[in-house]
Every structure is written in structure tokens, then in C-alpha cells.
Chains A and B, each alone.
Chain A
Amino acid sequence: MITLSHVSKWYQSFQVLKDCSTEIAKGEVVVVCGPSGSGKSTLIKCVNGLEPFQEGTISVAGTSVGDRKTNLPKLRARIGMVFQHFELFPHLSVMRNLVLAQMKVLGRGREESEQRGMKLLDRVGLREHAHKYPGQLSGGQQQRVAIARALAMDPIAMLFDEPTSALDPEMINEVLEVMIALAKEGMTMAVVTHEMGFAHKVAHRVVFMDKGEIVEDAPTTEFFNKPRSERAQTFLSKILQH
């Protein structure tokens, strides 16, 4: 469903992505990991065109992302994205956060949008918080609202950019549980994360990046049991020793 081929990106003379190619099939859950500064967030933001790239092609459900003729807002409306810092709209209530894009982008009616929003809030366990403002919720609750907001658009795939990195440890699980449930339902997901437990449990494949390159792209068990590259081995030994 999502195909990246030979994607390269530069910030002026500094190359942040080097010839990255991979594929995510429908219903597949792919975890992208690697040391900080390895370009994994940048790569995932290229998928919905939030970051431009200079070389290569990315196609999502047959639509080329880098093509000038592509209607990017229309494409993005079909891909859900969850950010490290939640990025809920602080001036709008939780319900307005869920409803706004449904109404303005998809053209749904208010009632239909609110029903859909309520259903998703219920699903992430936050039904009674619909009328609060994001600032009144904890980090974990905000991130669950953010996931619900993305799901309200009925996306064909979901992108997660370090969804638990900004959370206090005791809130990480409530967010991961929502993501695990989503994965088990067969949602196509690309997840940038350091949560190796999550990767173990639901990822079909792990993509390991370092210095802007995709160093390893392997089925989950293979990646954890016998990583081929030395860099992945070092990374895993650092992350898993505790």
C-alpha cells in the first residue's frame, strides 16, 4: 500500500535520507527504529508529504506523494498521523478536535461527525472527557485523543511518530494498548518508536535506520534474534540490556 523507492533528502548540503526503499503492505505493521538523528521521523513525515524530499518516489495507494500535481491535502486526509507532542488544538474542546476535520475536510454533517467522534472517544476510553480542553488532560489521555482524532477520518493507514516518547512512563502503556488493539484489527501502520516490547508483540517487520540509511529491513523475529548488520546489533544491545 505504501511504497518508498530510493528516497533521498537533503537539508542544504547535509543528507538526512540516503536512498531509502521499503514497502508496507495492506494490514502490515512496520516498526521503524534506530538511534536519534537517524532520520526515522523525517522518513515517516515524507510519507504524507509533511517533509519534502528531493529524490526518489513515494506512493500511497497508487498516488505519488512527491508529484507536483498530487492534491496533498486530499491524500493526507486519508492517512492518519500521530505526533510525538500530540498536537491537539488547545483552543478547541476534545470533541471539536475530533469533529473539525471531519466536517471541514470530509464534508460530513455535524451530527454524523459527533457520533463518529463519540464512538472513537469511547474506544480509547475517554468518553466522559469530550467537553474538556486538551490542557485539562494528562499526556497519555491527550495522545489517545490524538489517535481518535486521526481515526475519525477513517484513514487507510496510520503513521506514528514516536507516539510515546514525550510521555511519563506510567502513561506509556495506555497509549500502547490502543495501538496494539488497532494493529490487531488489521490497520496498516508505520510506527517510529523505541518501544521494543510493542515491536515484539505486534510488528510484522522492523526497519532499522542509522545515519539516514535503511540498514536493516527484516521480519520482527529475525530482526531481534539474529540481526545481520553490526549497527543493528550494537543498537539492540544498548536498548535491550536493561
Chain B
Amino acid sequence: MFSNFDFDVIIRSLPYLFIDGMSFTLLLTAFAASGGIIFGTLLALMRLSGFAPLSLPAAGYVNLMRSVPLVLMIFWFYFLVPYIGQWITGAPRPIQVGAFLSSLVTFTLFEAAYYCEIMRAGIQSIPRGQVAAAQALGMNYAQTMGYIVLPQALRNMLPVLLTQTIILFQDTSLVYVLSITDFLGAASKVAQRDGRLVEMYLFAALVYFVISFVVSRLVRHLQTRVAIIR
């Protein structure tokens, strides 16, 4: 049944697929995940504070981000960020930030909403007595969070955070709407050029599957290594 297919096209395009495509995908995933977890943790701390001017905007932000389709956000930011840049710097013309920066900003801001909810659950899972003990030792809010609550919350939530990161890794393929050469974009371009749609899309699916599967296995292994001894 595969007689009409030419799988050599995959071999020929491997350097392009991985050096151009996959490195973009992985870089975007790594940066957006780091930025998203940091910003998401800040949002979680804001949401959990009893101070309404902090908790309400954070809650609003999370709900807004979670109710807008990601593709729309990618489009939006691509066209909007140059104007925001212009507005901030006061430049005479919209600042061209490039597709990578624009998609990085989008994914960071978008994923932060999801990481926020994960971190919020993680922080709430820490017994209140831990906070009381830290305070009783004279630690202030930042020390209590930084040394006691967040390290434990991160460890407890690590599997969920990494699962969310695997989803992010898959979602980065949506940057094809900006005709960026990420892994799927590269595969798609080769497929169109050589008329080898089935082969390339099958191969792309396989690569996404293998990476996601291996990483989720690693997550399980990692989980037992960083777990808090109880």
C-alpha cells in the first residue's frame, strides 16, 4: 500500500526539519514555559492575596486568557505588539519585533494563565501550619513564600507543570498561522513543495508523539526523584 509513497523525502529534508524547524519549536517551548511559570506564579500569588486590587485583576486576566482561542491570541499579538512597542518607546513607526519574539510573548502570556491555576492549587495544598511556622520564626512574606511555600508547591505540582509544558510543546505548532518555520511549519513547507503531504504529516505526527511520550515517561521518573520524603 505504501508503493506510491516516497519516504526518502523525509531523509532528504531531515536537516531542514530539525535544524530550522525543531530548534525553533524547542526554543519557543523552553522560553515560554520558563516565562509562563514565573509570571504564572506571580499571578497565583496575586490571586491568593486578600487584597482586592491585586486579586481581582489577576483573576480577570486568567479568565480572559482562558476564554480566548490561542490562535486568535497569536494573530492578535503578531499585529498588535509592534504598535505597543511603538507606543512604549515613542518611535515614529511600529516596531518590527519579528515572529519569534511575538510568538514568545503570546505563549508566555497565554500559558501563564494555565500555570497560574496550577501554582494556585499547589500553594493551597501546603498546610497553613507551614506558613505559621515560617512566620513564627520571624520570616516575612517574601521569605515565607520563597523558602517554604513555593519550593514545596513546585515539587508537589511538578508532574502537572510538566504535563502542561508538553501541551505547550504541541500548541507551539499553531505558529504556522504566522507562516513561521517551526517543526510542523517546516514539514508542511516540504510537503507542499514536493507534493508529499501524507509522508510528511505522518512523520511529523510520529515525531510529536515520540517526544511527548518520552518526556512524559521522564516526568514520572523525575517525580519519584524530587518527591518530598514523607
Contacts and interface: CB of A to CB of B under 8 A. Distances in A.
Interface of A: 45, 48, 50, 72-81, 83, 85, 87-91, 100-101, 104-106, 133-136, 149-150, 153
B151 A87 contact: no
A153 B137 contact: yes
Contact of B138 (A76, A89, A135): A76
B130 interface: yes
Interface string B193-230: 00000000000000000000000000000000000111
Contacts of A74: 138
Contacts of A106: 138
Nearest to B144: A73
Contacts of B140: 73
Given A85-B129, A136-B229, A91 B138 contact: no
Interface string B125-138: 00101101111111
15 contacts: A48-B136, A50-B136, A73-B140, A76-B137, A77-B137, A83-B133, A85-B127, A87-B129, A87-B130, A101-B138, A104-B143, A105-B137, A105-B139, A133-B228, A150-B137
A105 B132 contact: no
B31 interface: no
A88 B129 CA distance: 9
Interface of B: 127, 129-130, 132-140, 143, 147-148, 151-152, 155, 228-230
B230 A90 contact: yes
Contact of A101 (B127, B139, B229): B139
Q: Is the contact region of chain B dominated by helix, strand, or loop, or is it mixed?
A: helix
A163 to B, nearest CB: 13
Given A104-B147, A133-B229, A136-B229, A87 B138 contact: no
A76 B136 contact: yes
Given A91-B151, A91-B152, A105-B143, A81 B136 contact: yes
Contacts of A77: 137-138
Contacts of A136: 229
Nearest to A74: B138
Contacts of A105: 137-139, 143
In the complex, the 7 A-B pairs of residues with the closest C-beta atoms, listed nearest first: A77-B138, A87-B133, A101-B137, A81-B136, A135-B229, A105-B138, A133-B229
Contacts of B148: 89
Given A101-B139, A105-B143, A89 B130 contact: yes
Contacts of A85: 127, 129
Contacts of A83: 129, 132-133, 136
Given A78-B138, A90-B228, A101-B137, 19 more contacts: A50-B132, A50-B136, A73-B138, A83-B136, A85-B127, A87-B129, A87-B133, A89-B148, A90-B152, A91-B151, A91-B155, A100-B147, A104-B147, A133-B229, A135-B228, A135-B229, A149-B137, A150-B137, A153-B138
Contacts of B134: 89
Nearest to B148: A89
A186 B134 CA distance: 26
Contacts of B136: 48, 50, 76, 79-81, 83, 150
A80 B229 CA distance: 26
Nearest to A45: B132
A100 B151 CA distance: 14
A20 to B, nearest CB: 20
A170 to B, nearest CB: 21
A136 B230 CA distance: 7
Nearest to B156: A91
Contacts of B143: 104-105
Given A73-B140, A85-B129, A100-B147, A135 B230 contact: yes
A194 B130 CA distance: 24
A85 B127 CA distance: 11
B133 A73 contact: no
B133 A89 contact: yes
A236 B58 CA distance: 53
B139 A73 contact: yes
Contacts of A45: 132
Which of B136, B139, B229 has the most chain A CB within a 10 Å cutoff?
B136
B132 A87 contact: yes
Given A90-B229, A135-B229, A136-B229, A76 B135 contact: yes
A70 to B, nearest CB: 13
